[in-house]
Amino acid sequence: MNKSSDKINPWYWISSLYLAEGIPYIVVITVSAILYKRMEISNSELALYTSWLYLPWVIKPLWSPIVDLFKTKRWWITTMQLVIGTGLAGVALSLPGPDFFRYSLVFFWLLAFSSATHDIAADGFYMIGLHPKDQAYFVGIRNTFYRLALIVGQGGAVMLAGQLEKQMPVAYAWAIAIGFLSVLFILFFIYHLFVLPRPTEDHSAASGKNIWQEFWDTFASFFRKDHIGIALAFMLLFRLAESQLLKLASPFMLDERAAGGLGLSTSVVGFIYGTVGVIALALGGLTGGILIARNGLKRWIWWMTAAMNLPNLVYVWLAHAQPENILLISSCVAVEQFGYGLGFTAYTLFLILFSAGKYKTAHYAICTGFMALGMMLPGMISGYIQEAKGYPRFFLWVMLCTIPAFIVVRYLRIPEKEQL
């Protein structure tokens, strides 16, 4: 690491870097669905097209060598933040116009690819911009600010749009809210131009031969791992239920009660799902980490699978009872998200353990690609299922989709020597 990097306090850039990493992801994956629901796009269309936006994260490992081959990771970070800011501005400007759905989707695709590329560069920069002894300390800090980014995007921006909807047409309200995020990313771009350190290890590769050879060796060795079949089944099926619930939870809350929804306002949904839910998710993740650290993943994997899936029952009850009490609805969402946090901790740790070896960083990226694929494919059809069956039967279907997770966990192999 360059000595000049030592002069820059990591607090000055790690916090802002991971805020910048989390916001576009949550905007593309979750906020886009809320936006389109408020713009009166059908559940089938919004679920299909916003699920397709997972694709850049699915194929992210395929173009990660490009970040190493050309320019520096610092260059990729700042450039992608400028592109993200431009993409957000494009979404904002397209919303009030005719054919907004088509044009805004083009900019969401730009956001998705630039956000996935930013992830590659930021995570790589973290490892070379910090001394190894500092990396363990700051991993908790970076995760905290990533969670805060979810609150800013899924909570703050949605609540802002909801408040503005009371004063102006929906399209203009959302254009202002997304425009605010665009300005924020231009500020990120300017700030990081001056604040990000310049490690000596951060340089483009002199030759692509070794990188491409390593690239192919990485993929070949991944698919030669022991128990690869059941591991891939776990990556693809563990979140089968959650992948469909995630796409329709917010539209369910926004839909009119006559249509089977809860009839909540945009700002209330932003508070419940984007603030209360995210806090519960973070607490679940923290609790899961503590439990696994004490007794190991093998001890808790079954219980955390149950925690991930069984709380989805609250949506079955919400769809049948259609309560109006905001505190009660918030409590149900908090229970589901807390369980999701527990289960996702186990899921993430398994990916880390399975990736162990010479190519652990690259193998983990491949694992996350399969994770994204497992979210993308079921999410694409979730809207069609809901429109055909209605919310009560859709959430019962979601519960049926929890069964494969329990089956694959029954046969999952966790390396004994890697138990924590």
Give the type of residue at 247.
K
- How confident is the model over 217-260, as pLDDT tens digits? 778 888 888 889 999 999 999 999 999 998 899 999 999 999 99
Residue 36 has pLDDT above 50, yes or no: yes
Contacts of 72 (CB under 8 A, 6+ apart): 202, 203, 204
What whole-number distance in Å separates Cα of residue 375 and Cα of residue 167? Answer: 36
Q: Is the pLDDT of residue 416 over 70?
A: no
Give me the domains of the chain, ranges plus CATH numbers: 1-206 (1.20.1250.20), 209-413 (1.20.1250.20)
User: What would the mean pLDDT of 100-105 be, rounded to a whole number?
Assistant: 93
Q: Do the beta carbons of residue 345 and residue 292 sit within 8 Å? A: yes
pLDDT in tens, 267-322: 999 899 888 988 898 888 888 888 887 888 888 899 999 999 999 999 999 999 99
Reported as a pLDDT band with limits 50, 70 and 90, residue 69 is confident
Q: What is the DSSP letter of 153?
A: I
Return d(Cα 403, Cα 417) in angstroms, integer.
Answer: 29
* pLDDT tens-digit readout, 11-35: 888 888 988 988 999 999 889 999 9
Report the C-alpha gap between 311 and 307 in whole angstroms.
Answer: 7
- The residue ranking higher by pLDDT, 6 or 71, is 71
Identify which of 380, 395, 420, 300 has the alpha carbon closest to the alpha carbon of residue 58.
Answer: 380
Provide the percentage of residues in the chain whose pLDDT is more than 70.
92
Query: What whole-number percentage of the chain has pLDDT above 90?
Result: 53
Question: What mean pLDDT is predicted for residues 122-131?
Answer: 76
Half-sphere exposure (Cβ direction) of 97: Cα atoms closer than 13 Å = 11
Q: What is the pLDDT of residue 71?
A: 82
Instruction: Answer whether 108's CB lies under 8 Å from 28's CB.
Output: yes
Q: Mean pLDDT over all residues of the chain?
A: 87
311: Cβ contacts below 8 Å, ≥ 6 apart: 335, 336, 338, 339, 340
pLDDT, position 420:
42
pLDDT of 5 above 70: no
Count H helices, E strands: the chain?
21, 0
What was the pLDDT predicted at 286?
83
Task: Specify the pLDDT at position 206.
Answer: 53
Is pLDDT of 125 > 90?
A: no
DSSP codes joined into one string, 47-59: HHHHHHTTHHHHS
Q: Closest by alpha carbon to 30, among 263, 393, 237, 281?
A: 281
Statement: residue 73 has pLDDT above 80: yes
- Which run of H or E residues covers position 211? helix 208-222
**pLDDT, average across residues 181-191:** 95
**In the predicted model, is pLDDT for residue 127 greater than 80?**
no
Alpha-carbon distance of 120 to 77, in angstroms, equals: 9
What's the rounded Cα separation, in Å, for the pair 187 and 181?
10
Q: Give the pLDDT of residue 18.
A: 87
- pLDDT (mean) for 321-346: 92
For the cut 80, the answer to whether the pLDDT of residue 51 exceeds it is yes
**Burial of 116 per CB tally in 10 Å (0-12, 13-18, 19+):** buried
What is the pLDDT, as a whole number, of residue 80? 94
Find where tokens 């992608």 sit. 80
- Cα dihedral 349→354→358→360 (10° resolution): -40
pLDDT at 418: 47
Average the pLDDT over 210-214 and give the result. 70
For 305, what's the count of Cα atoms within 13 Å in the CB-facing half-sphere?
A: 23
Report yes or no: 315 and 309 within 8 Å, Cβ to Cβ: no
Region label for 72, one of left (φ > 0), alpha (ψ between -120 and 50) or beta (otherwise): beta
